[in-house]
């Protein structure tokens, strides 16, 4: 078996490393020889070769990579470039149109919001003005109603006072007549005074004439009684009225007195006479 077969397989670049190793050893040997001769030593010299146990492989030499072959530049496609430019311009125009449209929509919305706020403001001002005018009208109407009520109350008070004055005058006249009748006439026997009482149905006939003239709104459950005294003339003409016993309802009492005054005259009794004084009682529900 040869020595070469016992060696490990040579690595890449082993030859170059071996050459460099030999050169280094040769230089070392020359240096040693020069040193020995410089000392002028005539003794026999021994030469020895130094071998490393394992051969060292020198690093491979770096080689520059091959330059790429120049490639032929393709000719520019003018139509494609023009088409791309047109597409870019179209996209730019579309973008500008979209931006302008969005700005227009925003401006229109802002105008609509401003118009809506203005309408709401005008509506609120109108409502406030209408409410103010309504309050002023209601106040004026209330003042007018109060003034009218005061005038009506004053007129009613005046009429009531005048009616009281008339009734008082009639009452005085009636008293004078009663006093005159109480004295009698010369030569009278008094039989007429004793038989001058009205008949049994006379009071009903009187009420039958007066009751349709009573104007009274009966909206309560009570049934008050008003007792009224009526002074009459010989011909049945009503001379005066007076409330002898109030019913507790002033409206009912006044309604009865007004009805008697409207009647003006009352019918004669069955014997053709008219009693000078009648006392009548009236109730709302009889």
Q: How sure is the predictor about 239, in pLDDT bands with cuts at 50, 70 and 90?
A: confident
Q: Say if residues 255 and 187 touch (Cβ distance below 8 Å).
A: no
Domain check: are 210 and 160 in the same one? no
Q: Which residues, 6 or more positions from 281, have their beta carbon under 8 angstroms from its beta carbon?
A: 225, 226, 227, 228
The verdict on residue 108 lying in a domain is yes
Strand order across the 238-245 sheet: 238-245, 226-232, 277-282
How many domains, in total, are found in the chain? 3
Whether 263 maps to a domain, the answer reads yes
Kindly provide the b/e burial profile for residues 145-163, where b requires at least 16 CB atoms within 10 angstroms of the residue's own CB: eeeeeeeeeeeeeeeeeee
How far apart, in whole angstroms, are the C-alpha atoms of residue 180 and residue 32?
198
Say if 192 falls within a structural domain: no
Among 278, 199, 267, CA closest to 231: 278
Residue 162 falls within a domain, yes or no? yes
Question: Is the whole-model pTM more than 0.75?
Answer: no
Looking at residue 60, its pLDDT comes to 56
pLDDT(71) > 60? yes
Q: Is the distance from CB of 275 to CB of 215 less than 8 angstroms?
A: no
Helices (H), the chain: 3-6, 14-38, 78-183, 191-194, 202-210, 250-263
Based on the fold, state whether residues 217 and 272 are members of the same structural domain.
yes
Higher pLDDT, 132 or 59: 132
Q: Is residue 155 part of a domain?
A: yes
Alpha-carbon distance 212 to 203, whole Å? 15
Q: Say if 228 falls within a structural domain.
A: yes
Cβ(238)–Cβ(260) below 8 Å? yes
Residues 91 and 54 in one domain: no
Last residue within a domain, chosen from 116, 150, 166: 166
* Each residue's pLDDT tens digit, 83-123: 888 889 999 999 999 999 999 999 999 999 999 999 999 99
251 Cβ contact list (under 8 Å, min separation 6): 216
pLDDT in tens, 186-236: 333 444 443 456 677 788 888 888 888 888 887 667 788 889 888 888 888
Q: What is the pLDDT of residue 114?
A: 94
**Predicted pLDDT of residue 73:** 65
**In this predicted structure, what is the pLDDT of residue 191?**
41
Highest mean pLDDT pick, 125-139, 159-173, 266-280: 125-139
Same structural domain for residues 205 and 256? yes
* 113 & 152 share domain: yes
Please tell me the predicted confidence (pLDDT) of residue 136.
92
Does residue 3 lie in a domain region? no
Residues 6+ apart with CB under 8 A from 100: none
Burial class (CB in 10 A: 0-12, 13-18, 19+), 258: middle
At residue 174 the predicted structure's pLDDT band, cuts being 50, 70 and 90, is low
Residue 218 lies in a domain: yes
What CATH code is carried by the domain that includes residue 266?
A: 3.30.1150.10
Q: How confident is the model at residue 12 (pLDDT cuts 50, 70, 90)?
A: low
Angle ∠(105,110,111) on CA atoms, nearest 5? 100
**Which of 166, 188, 220 finishes a domain?**
166
What pLDDT, on the 0 to 100 scale, is given for residue 192?
A: 41
**DSSP string of 239-257, one letter each residue:** EEEEEEE--S-HHHHHHHH
Residues 40 and 92 in one domain: no
Same domain, 19 and 90: no
**Per-residue confidence at 179, pLDDT binned at 50, 70, 90?**
low
State how far the Cα of 259 lies from the Cα of 35, in Å rounded to an integer. Answer: 177
114, 149: one domain: yes
The predicted structure's pLDDT at residue 118? 92
Q: Which domain holds residue 271?
A: 201-282
């Amino acid at each position: 078996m040869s020595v070469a077969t016992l060696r490990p397989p040579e690595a890449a670049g082993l030859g170059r490393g071996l050459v460099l190793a030999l050169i280094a050893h040769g230089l070392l040997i020359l240096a040693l020889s020069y040193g020995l001769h410089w000392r002028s030593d005539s003794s026999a010299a021994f030469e020895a070769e130094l071998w490393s146990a394992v051969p060292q492989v020198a690093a491979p030499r770096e080689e520059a990579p091959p330059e790429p072959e120049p490639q032929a530049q393709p000719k520019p496609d003018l139509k494609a470039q023009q088409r791309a430019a047109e597409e870019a311009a179209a996209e730019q125009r579309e973008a500008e149109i979209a931006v302008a449209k969005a700005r227009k929509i925003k401006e229109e919305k802002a105008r609509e919001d401003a118009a809506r706020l203005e309408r709401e403001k005008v509506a609120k001002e109108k409502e406030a003005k209408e409410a103010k005018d309504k309050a002023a009208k209601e106040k004026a109407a209330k003042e007018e109603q109060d003034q009218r009520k005061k005038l009506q109350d004053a007129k009613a008070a005046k009429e009531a006072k005048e009616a009281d004055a008339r009734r008082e005058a009639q009452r005085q006249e009636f008293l004078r007549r009663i006093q005159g009748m109480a004295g009698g006439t010369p030569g009278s026997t008094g039989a007429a005074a004793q038989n001058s009482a009205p008949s049994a149905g006379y009071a009903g006939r009187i009420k039958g004439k007066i009751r349709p003239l009573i104007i009274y709104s009966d909206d309560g459950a009570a049934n008050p009684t008003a007792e009224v005294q009526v002074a009459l003339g010989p011909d049945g003409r009503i001379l005066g009225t007076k409330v002898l016993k109030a019913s507790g309802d002033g409206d009912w009492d006044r309604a009865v007195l007004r009805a008697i005054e409207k009647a003006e005259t009352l019918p004669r009794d069955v014997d053709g006479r008219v009693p000078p004084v009648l006392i009548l009682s009236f109730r709302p529900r009889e």
